[in-house]
């Protein structure tokens, strides 16, 4: 493995990730930017935030959770009305047990949502106590659900789309590491800043450790992300990847951590997004193809997001093609 340049460069130890490679499991960050980490040692309900979980949950899962909560609460209170007796709701006791339970369930849903159609009403102290309790639960739960829905809609997000591949492309007289990103919503990001951190698993004194190196970018900050942005790190003598072959990169289990932050005009707030690339995602000898062009009418620019990863194979410079990534 090429180590001379790595020994010359200074690594960083303030990334928040451990340097002991023997205790790591797979990649450091998942593609969605979350840490590839599981916690234990304290009870489950103490190490999880229900609020954060519901905010970050997928929309379909969130809707399912709300439906399950609504159904479960109705079933609990319907069971209470059923055991008290459906006659306490002004319903005749005729019919089977299932029909009686359905009457109790429908009355529960009317009480929980404060609809109250009027053809059923609680009679007697036990039924009124259950109905009063359910009304309170309904008011509080719908307030919480409304707040969660608002929080999910109003939570600032960068909405960045990253190219699935990490390219080693010709760059000036040498080569460079490149990735591409773009916003995929109708939001507008300004004052965008990007930072790359390289993680390499190397041998030191017979022990495998993880070294982190900040990578210098050709452009680290842009005023506006109206179009796509290609991050370029020149692989030269100042790069920790200098003189690394394809086999060296695989042996070191290279991982590239990407951090982007910008100002969102719509939210009037800072947003950020993370992702990571592993050595399996590297494409050697390739360059990105253009992903925007003039529109048909000539009055606008067309950004084709489906071409975020469009690239073609090219020849790397002969001097480095077979000896370095």
| 163 and 302 together in one domain | yes
| 199 and 222 together in one domain | yes
Rounded to an integer, what distance in angstroms lies between the CA atom of residue 223 and that of residue 263? 10
| 282 and 317 together in one domain | yes
The residue among 125, 154, 183 that closes a domain is 154
Rounded to an integer, what distance in angstroms lies between the CA atom of residue 235 and that of residue 11? 16
Successive 10-residue mean pLDDT values, the chain, 325 residues: 57 69 71 83 84 90 94 94 85 76 90 81 89 92 93 89 95 92 91 94 81 93 92 93 87 93 89 94 93 86 93 79 48
The residue among 154, 177, 195 that closes a domain is 154
Which of 8, 28, 17 lies closest to 278 in space, CA to CA? 28
| 93 and 147 together in one domain | yes
Q: According to the model, what pLDDT value does residue 2 have?
A: 52
Which residues, in sequence order, are bridge partners of residue 303?
292
| 139 and 216 together in one domain | no
| 58 and 29 together in one domain | no
| 293 and 177 together in one domain | yes
**DSSP letter for each residue of 166-198:** EEEEEETTEEEEEEEEEE-SS--EEEEEEEEEE
| 162 and 275 together in one domain | yes
| 75 and 128 together in one domain | yes
Give me the CATH number covering residue 110: 1.10.287.70
Structural domain count, the chain: 2
| 140 and 72 together in one domain | yes
Task: Show the domain range for 194.
Answer: 4-37+157-321
The residue among 154, 189, 218 that closes a domain is 154
Rounded to an integer, what distance in angstroms lies between the CA atom of residue 230 and that of residue 91? 69
| 30 and 109 together in one domain | no
Give me the CATH number covering residue 174: 2.60.40.1400
Q: Is residue 65 within 8 Å of residue 53, measured between CB atoms?
A: no
| 123 and 168 together in one domain | no
């Amino acid at each position: 493995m090429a180590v001379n340049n790595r020994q010359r460069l200074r690594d960083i130890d303030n990334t928040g990730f451990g340097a002991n490679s023997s205790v790591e499991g797979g990649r450091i960050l998942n593609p969605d930017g979350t840490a590839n980490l599981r916690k234990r040692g304290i009870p489950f309900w103490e190490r999880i935030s229900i609020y954060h979980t519901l905010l970050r949950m997928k929309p379909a899962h969130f809707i399912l959770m709300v439906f399950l909560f609504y159904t479960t609460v109705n079933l609990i209170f319907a069971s209470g009305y059923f055991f008290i007796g459906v006659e306490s709701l002004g319903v005749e006791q005729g019919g089977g047990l299932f029909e009686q339970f359905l009457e109790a369930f429908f009355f529960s849903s009317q009480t929980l949502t404060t609809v109250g159609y009027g053809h059923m009403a609680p009679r007697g102290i036990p039924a009124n106590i259950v109905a009063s309790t359910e009304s309170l639960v309904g008011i509080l739960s719908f307030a919480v659900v409304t707040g969660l829905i608002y929080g999910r809609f109003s939570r600032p997000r960068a909405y960045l789309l990253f190219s699935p591949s990490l390219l080693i492309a010709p760059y000036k007289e040498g080569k460079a590491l490149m990735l591409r990103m773009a916003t995929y919503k109708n939001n507008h990001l300004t004052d965008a800043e990007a930072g790359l951190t390289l993680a390499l698993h190397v041998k030191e004194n017979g022990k495998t450790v993880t070294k982190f190196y900040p990578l210098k970018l050709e452009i680290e900050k842009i005023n506006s992300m109206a179009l796509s942005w290609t991050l370029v790190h020149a692989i030269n003598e100042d790069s920790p990847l200098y003189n690394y072959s394809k086999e060296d990169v695989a042996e070191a289990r290279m991982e590239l951590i990407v951090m982007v932050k910008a100002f969102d005009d719509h939210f009037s707030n800072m947003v950020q997004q993370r992702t990571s690339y592993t050595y399996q995602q590297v494409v050697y000898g390739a360059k990105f193809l253009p992903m925007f062009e003039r529109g048909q009418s000539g009055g606008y620019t067309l950004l084709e997001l489906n071409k975020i990863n469009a690239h073609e194979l090219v020849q790397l410079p002969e001097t480095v093609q077979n000896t370095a990534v």
